[in-house]
Amino acid sequence: MGGLPDRLTGMAAALWWGSLTTIGFVVVPLLFASLPTPALAGQTAARLFTAQTWISLGCTLLMLVATRSVHGGPAARRVQAAIGFVVLGLLLALLAEFAVAPHIVARDNLRLWHSVGSAMYLVQWVCAAVVLWRVIRPSAA
């Protein structure tokens, strides 16, 4: 990867996937295993997932801007080729935060909304993985 826009694109893709992985698959399960009550773990997890939404929003918007940059290099072009995954991941993050999370917090049909939220998080994680995989692909020599 070359210039600053390419490096920022790569960093954004790595941060997006890495933060989803760390929060969703390491930190939140540890909360439920370590905190004294599931209610306390759930409240803390909700705050972390909100923070994750903003991280996802920042990373995806940075990648979208980088694909429009006249100075974008190979990494930006690779993100452009995966633009559908970037946009889908962005939409899933926003929908999970503003459409699904309020139902979970209100404990409204908790099993259903938790399942929907978990599925959306997993699909967002896959989107981030696809984008990262494409961004870090070695350049043809």
Helix (H) / strand (E) containing 139: none
Contact 17, 132 (CB under 8 A): yes
CB 130 within 8 A of CB 85: yes
* Torsion sign across C-alpha atoms 130, 136, 57, 27: positive
Per residue in 19-75, pLDDT tens? 999 999 999 999 999 999 999 999 999 999 999 999 999 999 999 888 877 666 777
The 8-class DSSP code of residue 137 comes to S
Q: Yes or no: say if 107 and 55 are a contact pair by the CB < 8 Å rule.
A: no
CA distances (Å), 43 to each of 47, 85, 107, 119, 130, in order? 7, 29, 12, 20, 30
Tell me the per-residue pLDDT of 112-132, one tens digit each, with 9 for 90 and over.
999 999 999 999 999 999 999
At residue 1, the pLDDT reads: 44
Q: What is the pLDDT of residue 141?
A: 42
pTM, whole model, 2 decimals?
0.90
How many Cβ atoms are within 10 Å of 97's Cβ, its own excluded? 20
pLDDT in the model for residue 68: 78
- Nearest partner of 12 among 94, 101, 134, judged by Cα: 134
